[in-house]
Structure 1
Amino acid sequence: MKRFGALFAELDASTSTHAKVAALVRYLREAPDEDAAWAMYFLAGGKPRQLVRTAQLRALALQASGLPEWLFEESYQAVGDLAETIALVLPAPADGGGARGLHAWMTERLLPLRGADEGTVALAVRDCWAELDSLGRFLFVKLVGGGFRVGVSKLLVQRAAAEFAGLDPKLVAARMMGYTDGKREPTADAWRAIVAPADGEAAARDPSQPYPFFLAQALASEPDEASLGPASDWLAEWKFDGIRGQIVQRAGRVWVWSRGEELMTDRFPELERLAAAWPDGTVVDGEIVAWDALAAPLPGSETLGRPGPFATLQQRIGRKTLSARVLAEAPAGFIAYDLLEQGGQDLRAQPQHARRAALEALAGACVPPLPCSPLLTAPDWATLAERRARSRELGVEGLMLKHRDSAYGTGRVKRSGEAGERLAWWKWKIDPLTVDGVLIYAQAGHGRRASVYTDYTFAVWNRAPRDAAEAQAVVEAITERRPADPEGLQLVSFTKAYSGLSDAEFRAVDAVIRETTLENFGPVRSVRPTLVVELAFEGIARSKRHKSGVALRFPRMLRVREDKPLHEANTLADLEALLSA
């Protein structure tokens, strides 16, 4: 654990990509393979499942520290991170131990805590804390609490592994696909396969392994011939709101992977049945969507059926058991984008138009049918812009643009081929929906924002105020802690947001929050309503879990509306109108 702790500290302290890669390579040269397997799993984005409840960790730390509860809570609020707070308040260890490696800690000490009773967990946690130094305790709490994060990207980890092994980073990226899936425990053998010499690559591949996903860049401006060349050089498709995935059919079995490298076969049995009869050695890239089989087809398609709202698909995400009712009420489908492998042959280097032709041929022979993403043809960019303008009406997010000669790359790149940027993939999304909300609650952020209030809850009016005076009367009632009049004007919370503003803007809002705080509820402050903030979001759906009756998709802050008075903020009726838009 000490070696892993030292690596974590070095990565956390540096902003230099070169320094981080160098630190990772040094670690890989020194660490045993079984430790490197776990370290690369976590650093590449593997999510440790929560082994100990946060409430129990807090209670054990409070007991071990001997602090009064109020002082522990004040310390937590000042630090902003529970693991860091615990590491700071615990008494010094007897020997500053933790000499055993990361693999031993995970398999012998941490993983056995899963499912153990509270007494066993309490004893084990105290023993672990007694062995570890402050940094080790911090990492321990992060790992057993399921909250481990560090400032390195998966791409950087792959680059370091490639440098360590003397391999092409693209090969390492391909080998690491699926490595961070939570259903698989990282092993020394799995790690050695990632950094093994490149000889015999095809034979060594795990049959379940998907390919690294090719990701699109967002267009910064409207496309035209000067920026992207003729529209006829591009294949345009609708951009769907679902889960990007790959279906792998090899060795007589089917695996369904998400873009986040999570194995999701058991969550989508419809997709397993869809691919069961595909020819062996077939890998298809596409979008997992909620599927409305009776809806009219989208423009560009002649087949009945189209994707449903993402909120429907959410009913399937995270469920351990799929009842017949859930399968009936939230059916899933798959829209194919690309054919990556056919008959065991990797097709990614072929041009887009050739892969598309092969995909359509496969789809035409499939039983049950394999829906392909409709292609939209247009003589020029203006015509495509007109079709994109209908996106929200059709329930899609805009258009995807793929150059007809582009290969299938790795990750989010701007170049794919010798011709340069024009061969990349681009997403041409529609403008987000917006609403003006009133800030009513705030909570401090995490990490470098732990001392600044950055996580906000917003409200809208239950109806439009008659004038500024009526709105001000509600503010005064809130300030005086008087209950809201159920028959009168009131503010109704509807969403949370914590991103979108600059550091300077967050500091300015933080100052207002501290000046207008009314009450503290643990880490949360209620504030006197004074600020209107413009929020952007990708979609809206009905929700029984929210007081407002709606839920926003990807809400974020655009700007503080210093020009807008409180009584001009949006209303529930405005949100209802967006639902039907």
Structure 2
Amino acid sequence: MRRLADLYDALDSTTSTNAKVDALVAYFHETPAEDAAWGLFFLTGRRLKRLVPPKALRDWVRELTGTPEWLFDEAYAQVGDLAEMIALLLDQAETPPQPEELPLSRWLEERLLPLAGLSTAEQRERVTGWWHVLPRRELFLFNKMLTGELRVGVSDTLVVRALAQRAGLPPAAVSHRLMGTWAPSRAFFEQLLAPDVSDGDRSRPYPFYLASPLEQPVEQLGERGDWLVEWKWDGIRGQLIRRQGGVYLWSRGEELITERFPEIAEAAASLPDGTVLDGEVLAYADAQPLPFSLLQRRIGRQKLTAKVLAEAPAAFMVYDLLEQDGQDVRSVPLRERRARLEALLRDRPLFPVSPSVDASSWEGLAQVRHESRARNVEGFMIKRLESTYQHGRKRGDWWKWKIDPFTVDAILLYAHPGHGRRASLYTDYTFAVWNGEELLPIAKAYSGLTDEEIGRLDRWIRAHTREKFGPVRSVEPLQVFELHFEGIAASPRHKSGIALRFPRIARWRVDKAPQDADSLDRLKELLHVPA
């Protein structure tokens, strides 16, 4: 636990990429494999399920420290993070913490994880006992693990770089081994660093190659004939794997979704063994994509009935061939991978190959791009025909030229504290539009502002709070923000009757007064615009 706390502090105290990598390399070098595996578990964004209800933790720490509920709520509204709040309160308790050197793996496997099967009284006895033996830094991480909210501010790319340096392996090999489902253990960590780069897990996907946003004029890419242009489909990015008699469908979020799309899995059983396809799960019928909102009906259902399958049929729109006859073909140029793909998938209706857009000039493509919304797509993907299939977001060979987003001017209504190093700042916001004379919430957003703007807005929120609901503050409805979003759909689950897809903050409209914000009627008009 101490080593992980040291690493957490080292990562949180610097913005230097090299310093972060050095700290990670040192951690993986000095930490026993069984503990490093758990550290890696958290570093790659994986989290434990919540083991103890937050309300119970609040009650226990108030009882231990004699803190009145009103005072706890007032302080919590300032701190904004329950794990930090507990650590700060217990640091002031009469019983000083007594350091206990216990390996991280034992803390997790022998103490935390068994809590799930205990009664509330047993949980209280154990948790409060451990609170008294952990110094503040370890106590903070311990509580984050208890609530399933431990997140470490480091990208997967830096973690892979550090592991590759530690093991003396290519980053691509390490990234591939980390894909899919794995359990944190000594055996896993040792296999991860082993010099033999062969991969034994038949279900394991490859790291996804991600396109970069096209920010320069498209003509600067050079000759039109050097590029493959496809529609940017609106679905679930995934890899379809057919290996050793099995079929596996992975989302880009490394979730195994095979059972959610039985028709795709059934059709994939006839693919040649040793095939891996990169593509997009789409709502799809009559050789045409359907709105993403139909696909969401499949995602949110616990049970897939015949009615649901009929209402939201699916297909796997294929972009690329990553493995053929058991051989990794990612280093083969896209031009050849594409030819192989078209030959492989001929006459397979559930696996259409993403068609190329035939406009012969960049000017012609710009005109065709205006058809995107009517086609239920998001713009273009532009790929260099000589490119290999890389991993991560490597600029230069793959670009996404998206259509302009929808926009709405909305009023800040509620603010919630952030997480991690921003736990003491109000960084998560709820926005509203006018519905007659009242304001109706329509979206939550937390990205798009600079650090300077977040700090300035945080000070404004504290000075203009109307009401407090635990950590949430209701503020005076004075600040207008321009939000961007990718789509809009009718939603009976929301009071506004609509749901926005991927809302984010575009800019703080200090030039606009509250009465200049948009209305719900204006948003509902967009329901009739092809999305």
Residue 556, structure 1, aligned to residue 504, structure 2: yes
Q: Map of 1:317-356 to 2, 5 A cutoff? A: 317=299, 319-356=301-338
C-alpha separation in 1, matches of 2:303 and 2:94: 45
Q: Please list the CA deviations of residues 452-499 of structure 1 after superposition, one character each: whole Å capped at 9, or x if unmatched.
A: 433222221224xxxxxxxxxxxxxxxxxxxxxxxxx32222112222
Distance 1:332 1:97 in 2: 55
Q: What do the CA deviations read for 1:252-298 (whole angstroms, capped 9, x no partner)?
A: 00111111222222333233213111111000001122x231xxxxx
The letter of the residue matching 2:398 is W
Q: Check the 8 A contact 1:98/1:136 in 2, yes or no.
A: no
- Residue aligning to 2:66: 66
**Worse-matched range after superposition: 255-264 or 94-103:** 94-103
1:217–1:412 CA contact under 8 A, matched in 2: yes
Aligned to 1:492: 440
Change (3 A) 1:341 1:220: same
Aligned position for 2:217: 222
Cα distance in 1 between the residues matched to 2:398 and 2:383: 5
State the match for 1:565 in structure 2.
513
Asked if 1:211 corresponds to 2:206, the answer is yes
What is the SS of the residue equivalent to 1:364?
Answer: coil
Pairing 1:31-42 to 2, within 5 Å after superposition: 31-42=31-42
Q: How far, CA to CA, are the matches of 1:62 and 1:435 in structure 2? A: 43
Superposed CA offset, 1:364-395 (max 9, x none)? 154x6412212111210011111111112222
Deviating more after overlay: 324-333 vs 255-264: 324-333
Q: In structure 2, what is the Cα distance between the partners aligned to 1:327 and 1:116?
A: 40
Cα distance 1:324–1:140, how it changes in 2: closer, same or farther (>3 A)?
farther
The corresponding residue for 1:112 is 114
Q: Distance in 2 between matches of 1:66 and 1:324?
A: 57
Which has the higher mean CA deviation after the structures are superposed, 234-243 or 24-33? 24-33
Contact preservation (8 Å) 1:287, 1:335: yes
Structure 1's 452 and 34: CA in aligned 2 closer, same or farther, altered over 3 A? closer
Report SS of the residue matched to 2:323. Answer: strand
CA contact (8 A) 1:249 1:279 kept: yes
Instruction: Report the AA paired with residue 525 of structure 1.
Output: R
State the one-letter code of the partner of 1:292: Y
Change in Cα spacing, 1:529 to 1:213, as seen in structure 2 (3 Å) is same
CA gap 1:274/1:64 in 2 versus in 1, 3 angstroms: farther
Say whether the 8 Å CA contact 2:315–2:351 is kept in structure 1.
no
2:382 aligns with 401
In 1, Cα distance between the equivalents of 2:89 and 2:251? 40
Q: Choose the corresponding residue for 2:361, options 373, 377, 380.
A: 380
Q: Which residue of 2 aligns with 1:431?
A: 404
Distance 1:374 1:52 in 2: 50
> Does 2:435 correspond to 1:462?
yes
TM-score (ref. length: structure 2): 0.94
Q: Could you list the per-position Cα deviations for residues 173-201 of structure 1 after superposition, in whole angstroms to 9, with x for gaps in the alignment?
A: 122212xx4xx422221211111013xx3
* Mapped contact 2:264–2:350 kept (Cα < 8 A): no
Question: How far apart, CA to CA, are the structure 1 residues paired with 2:323 and 2:369?
Answer: 31
| Per-residue CA distance 1:322-345 (angstroms, 9 max, x = gap) | 444443444433111101001001
CA offsets per residue over residues 48-74 of structure 1, 9 Å max, x none?
222222222222222222211122222
1:180-232, Cα deviation, whole Å (9 max, x unpaired): x4xx422221211111013xx34x421111111111011112300xx211112
Distance 2:459 2:188 in 1: 50
For residue 377 of structure 2, give the secondary structure of its aligned residue in structure 1: coil
In structure 2, C-alpha distance between the alignment counterparts of 1:256 and 1:536, rounded to whole Å: 31
Is residue 12–residue 421 contact of structure 2 (8 Å, CA) maintained in 1?
Answer: no
Residue 292 (str. 1) matches residue 284 (str. 2) = yes
Residue 12 (structure 2) aligns with: 12
Instruction: Report if the CA contact (8 A) 1:237-1:376 is conserved.
Output: yes
Paired letter, 2:499: A
Name the CA shift for 1:177/1:427 in 2 (closer, same or farther; >3 Å).
same
What is the percent sequence identity of the aligned residues?
Answer: 52
User: Do the aligned residues in 2 keep the contact of 1:455 with 1:498 (CA within 8 Å)?
Assistant: yes
User: What is the letter of the counterpart of residue 452 of structure 2?
Assistant: A
2:158 is matched with 156
Q: What do residues 418-470 of structure 1 show as CA deviations (whole Å, max 9, x unaligned)?
A: xxx3xx1000011111011122222333344444433222221224xxxxxxx
Query: How many residue pairs get matched?
Result: 527
Query: How many angstroms apart in 2 are the aligned matches of 1:324 and 1:452?
Result: 47
Instruction: Give 1:94 shift.
Output: 5.7
Given that 1:337 and 1:372 are in contact with CA atoms closer than 8 Å, whether structure 2 keeps it comes out as yes
Q: Is the 8 A contact 1:2 1:98 kept in 2?
A: no
SS at match of 1:73: helix
Residue by residue, what CA displacement relative to the aligned partner does 1:545-564 show, whole Å, maximum 9, x if unpaired? 21111111111122232333
**Deviation for aligned residue 1:310:** 2.5
1:540 to 1:122, Cα distance in 2 relative to 1, 3 A: same
Q: Which amino acid aligns with 2:195?
A: P
Contact 2:81 2:424 in 1 (8 A): no
Give 1:549's aligned amino acid.
G
C-alpha contact (below 8 Å) 1:232/1:378 kept by paired residues: no
Q: Secondary structure at the match of 1:114?
A: helix
Structure 1 residues 306, 51: closer, same or farther in 2, change over 3 A? farther
What amino acid is aligned across from residue 268 of structure 1 in structure 2?
Answer: F
* 8 Å Cα contact 1:283-1:340 kept in structure 2: yes
Q: Name the SS of the counterpart of 1:88 in structure 2.
A: helix
Distance in 2 separating the partners of 1:369 and 1:105: 48
Contact 2:80/2:425 (CA < 8 Å) preserved in 1? no
Unmatched 5+ stretches in structure 1? 294-303, 415-420, 464-488
Q: Contact conserved, 2:77 with 2:471, CA < 8 A, in 1?
A: yes
Match of 2:132 in 1: 130
Code of the residue aligned with 2:162 in structure 1: it is: A
Task: State the partner residue of 1:441.
Answer: 414
Paired AA for residue 114 in structure 1: A
1:571 shift after superposition: 1.2
The two structures, once aligned, show a CA RMSD in angstroms of: 2.0
CA–CA separation in structure 1 for the residues paired with 2:404 and 2:459 = 31
Whole-angstrom distance in 2 between the partners of 1:185 and 1:235 = 39
